[in-house]
């Protein structure tokens, strides 16, 4: 994996001249002042910042169509923005062009209790969505760890952080369908909504699942303008617990045991933390286990109580047990308040963090945390953390590196290169890809070749989010 050695500016601008007078006549709200454009240069990732030539805050699908058509006519790249809080560089305008901000598209369009679907625009935040659903006795299955401020559009287009669930698998599985503006300005609806009279109620319809093409693609194949999510009744009872284990292999065996027997069936969220993260949160109040698993159980009170007993008993069979202090001090508050994701680490001495997200088979977890130990030894100048999120099968894993951006940015990027390469070697697959993992796409030759063919077919000028997924 290689990053450019150039400064943290756009690596190059491939787009045509802006054509200011023409664009201003077509898009009177176009932002061109460099002060206005600062916030559109980069997300929270370690990937180099870009330099957009302009930005536009769209308020409707029609305006998105207008911007895309003008960009095609002027050969200007388009990078889609939401909250800009992701960690994969997907929104960074590495080729200049227009930053298309869809955060003003923040309407909740429909709550359909019969179909169990809520239809939203991409700029809707999870905080606003949960508040709107609550009076109806409804909720959504997965909320990203960017908390209430994360947008629905940004989460599904980038495989948002912490979006696994033992009950619901992943955020993508909770999407019933999409409205997408393609590179030529055509509007596509997926799933059952391919038939206008039918609307969104079934993801798999007519032919292949086209919804999945746009999930995690960071805008490379189209601009998502509407999202239909499945809704669920608010559970009658919510309870959190934490289990401590003496080492990673026994913890991994416990997780695999529970997944195989579906003992996590009422666990809406589960996350694993290494000893350093646990110790930082409990501040020496008790000895920290090598691994701690936090579980958020929801359902009828008697079902939750029975599952808790079964999980505790199973953990004891693998040398673990309940570890209530971590639940009381941190995990219960995390799930109650949806506090920002890195709060668990307790590392606030660095200005920024790099984050690499992967998917792995449960038995890979010990090797995953062994890599963390290696990186702490090889790169002691950084503060390292890692965590895992449970899915119905397998895990999501995140390696987190805190660094001082003013002094350590280039060194941090080089450390990320080594980390990415080692993660692949132990069987960890990139999950939140964007640009950070893009130069590793040749590790998946057949898959990458097909993505290139799809990109050529859907976006022959390669104007939508160029460089994402190395496309």
Pair of tokens at residue 297: 């159980």
Domain end point (choices 201, 233, 265): 233
Task: Report the domain count for the chain.
Answer: 2
Statement to judge: residues 207 and 316 lie in one domain: no
Q: What is the pLDDT of residue 240?
A: 96
Q: How far is CA 187 from CA 61, 240, 250, in A?
A: 9, 43, 50
Statement to judge: residues 251 and 263 lie in one domain: yes
Task: Mark out the alpha helices in 283-393 (DSSP H runs).
Answer: 301-317, 324-326, 332-337, 365-378
Statement to judge: residues 188 and 114 lie in one domain: yes
Q: CA–CA separation, 87 vs 215, rounded Å?
A: 16
Q: What is the pLDDT of residue 348?
A: 44
The answer to whether position 279 is within a domain reads: yes
Pair of tokens at residue 345: 């680490």
H or E element, residue 37: helix 34-37
Residues 6+ apart with CB under 8 A from 356: 398, 399, 416, 419, 420, 423, 432, 436, 437
Q: What is the pLDDT of residue 23?
A: 67
Instruction: Going residue by residue through the chain, which has 471 residues, state the pLDDT in tens, using 9 for 90 and above.
Output: 333 333 334 334 444 555 666 666 677 788 888 888 888 888 877 788 889 999 999 999 999 999 999 999 999 999 998 887 777 788 888 889 999 999 999 999 999 999 999 999 999 999 999 999 999 999 999 888 776 778 999 999 988 766 789 999 888 999 999 999 999 999 999 999 999 999 999 999 999 999 999 999 999 999 999 999 999 999 999 999 999 999 999 999 999 999 999 999 999 999 999 988 898 888 777 888 999 999 999 999 999 999 999 999 999 999 999 999 999 998 998 887 765 544 434 344 445 778 888 999 999 999 999 999 999 999 999 988 889 999 999 999 989 888 888 888 889 888 988 899 999 999 999 987 888 888 889 899 999 999 999 999 999 999 999 998 888
Statement to judge: residues 207 and 192 lie in one domain: yes
> Are residues 191 and 203 in contact, defined by beta-carbon separation less than 8 angstroms?
yes
Statement to judge: residues 134 and 207 lie in one domain: yes
Length of the chain, please?
Answer: 471
pTM of the predicted model as reported, rounded to 2 decimal places: 0.91
| Helix 365-378, helix 248-261: angle, nearest 10 | 150
Statement to judge: residues 222 and 112 lie in one domain: yes
The answer to whether position 4 is within a domain reads: no
Q: How far is CA 93 from CA 46, 102, 367, 375, in A?
A: 14, 15, 35, 30
Statement to judge: residues 331 and 257 lie in one domain: yes
Q: 């909320």: which residue's tokens?
A: 143
Statement to judge: residues 213 and 323 lie in one domain: no
Pair of tokens at residue 127: 């905080």
Q: CA–CA separation, 167 vs 104, rounded Å?
A: 32
Phi/psi class of residue 112: alpha, beta or left (left: φ > 0; alpha: ψ in -120 to 50)? beta
Residues 6+ apart with CB under 8 A from 78: 67, 68, 71, 97, 98, 100, 219, 223, 463, 464, 465
Q: In what order do the strands lie in the sheet with 187-189?
A: 108-112, 117-120, 223-230, 175-181, 187-189
Cβ-count burial 276-297 (b if 16+ within 10 Å, e if not):
bbbbbbbeeeeebbbbbbbbbb
The answer to whether position 272 is within a domain reads: yes
Q: CA–CA separation, 296 vs 311, rounded Å?
A: 12
What's 280's domain CATH number?
A: 3.30.70.3450
> Are residues 447 and 399 in contact, defined by beta-carbon separation less than 8 angstroms?
no
Statement to judge: residues 189 and 276 lie in one domain: no
> Are residues 81 and 223 in contact, defined by beta-carbon separation less than 8 angstroms?
no
The answer to whether position 17 is within a domain reads: no
What's 142's domain CATH number?
A: 3.30.465.10
Q: 């093409």: which residue's tokens?
A: 213
Cβ-count burial 395-426 (b if 16+ within 10 Å, e if not):
bbbbbbbbbbeeebbeebbebbeebbebbbee
Indicate the pairing of strand 54-57 with strand 98-101: parallel
The answer to whether position 81 is within a domain reads: no
Domain end point (choices 315, 344, 373): 344
Statement to judge: residues 165 and 273 lie in one domain: no
Q: CA–CA separation, 39 vs 144, rounded Å?
A: 22
Domain end point (choices 310, 328, 344): 344
| Helix 405-425, helix 365-378: angle, nearest 10 | 140
Q: What is the pLDDT of residue 20?
A: 64
Q: Which residues constitute the domain of residue 248?
A: 237-344
The answer to whether position 180 is within a domain reads: yes
Question: Per DSSP, what are the bridge partners of residue 295?
Answer: 241, 270
Q: CA–CA separation, 252 vs 4, rounded Å?
A: 38
H or E element, residue 66: helix 61-74
Residues 6+ apart with CB under 8 A from 405: 351, 352, 412
The answer to whether position 117 is within a domain reads: yes
Q: CA–CA separation, 94 vs 194, rounded Å?
A: 34
The answer to whether position 47 is within a domain reads: no
Q: What is the pLDDT of residue 24?
A: 66
Question: Per DSSP, what are the bridge partners of residue 267?
Answer: 297
Q: What is the pLDDT of residue 354?
A: 83
Statement to judge: residues 118 and 211 lie in one domain: yes
Residue 5's SS3 state is: coil
Statement to judge: residues 257 and 224 lie in one domain: no
């Amino acid at each position: 994996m290689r990053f450019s050695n150039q400064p943290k500016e756009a690596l190059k601008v491939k787009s045509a001249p802006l054509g200011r007078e023409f664009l201003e006549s077509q898009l009177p709200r176009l932002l061109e002042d460099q002060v206005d454009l600062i916030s559109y240069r980069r997300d929270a990732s370690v990937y180099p910042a870009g330099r957009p030539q302009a930005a536009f805050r769209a308020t409707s699908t029609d305006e998105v169509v207008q911007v895309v058509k003008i960009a095609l006519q002027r050969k200007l790249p388009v990078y889609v923005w939401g909250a800009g809080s992701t960690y994969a560089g997907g929104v960074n305008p590495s080729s200049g062009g227009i930053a298309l901000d869809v955060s003003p598209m923040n309407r909740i369009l429909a709550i359909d209790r019969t179909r169990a679907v809520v239809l939203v625009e991409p700029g809707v935040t999870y905080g606003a969505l949960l508040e709107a659903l609550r009076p109806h006795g409804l909720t959504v299955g997965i909320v990203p760890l960017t908390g209430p401020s994360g947008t629905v559009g940004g989460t599904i287009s980038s495989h948002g952080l912490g979006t696994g669930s033992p009950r619901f698998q992943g955020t993508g599985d909770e999407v019933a369908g999409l409205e997408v503006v393609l590179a030529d300005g055509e509007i596509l609806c997926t799933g059952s909504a391919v038939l206008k009279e039918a609307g969104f109620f079934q993801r798999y319809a007519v032919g292949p699942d086209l919804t999945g093409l746009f999930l995690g693609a960071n805008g490379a194949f189209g601009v998502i303008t509407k999202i239909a999510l499945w809704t669920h009744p608010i559970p009658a009872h919510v309870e959190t617990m934490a289990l401590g284990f003496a080492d990673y292999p026994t913890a991994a065996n416990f997780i695999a045991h529970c997944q195989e027997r579906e003992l996590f069936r009422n666990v809406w969220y589960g996350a694993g933390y290494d000893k350093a993260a646990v110790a930082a949160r409990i501040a020496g109040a008790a000895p920290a286990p090598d691994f701690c698993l936090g579980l958020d159980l929801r359902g009828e009170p008697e079902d939750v109580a029975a599952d808790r007993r079964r999980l505790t008993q199973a953990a004891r069979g693998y040398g673990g047990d309940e570890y209530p202090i971590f639940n009381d001090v941190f995990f219960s508050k995390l799930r109650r308040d949806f506090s920002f994701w890195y709060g668990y680490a307790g590392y606030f001495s660095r200005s920024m963090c790099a984050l690499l997200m992967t998917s792995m088979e449960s038995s890979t977890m010990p090797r995953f945390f062994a890599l963390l130990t290696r990186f702490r030894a090889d790169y002691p100048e950084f503060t390292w953390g890692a965590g895992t999120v449970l899915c119905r099968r397998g895990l999501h894993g995140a390696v987190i590196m805190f660094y001082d951006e003013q002094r350590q940015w280039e060194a941090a990027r080089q450390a990320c290169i080594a980390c990415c390469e080692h993660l692949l070697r132990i069987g960890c697959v990139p999950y939140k890809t964007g640009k950070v993992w893009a130069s590793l796409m040749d590790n998946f030759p057949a898959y990458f070749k097909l993505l290139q063919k799809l990109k050529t077919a859907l976006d022959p000028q390669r104007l939508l989010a160029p460089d994402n997924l190395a496309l």
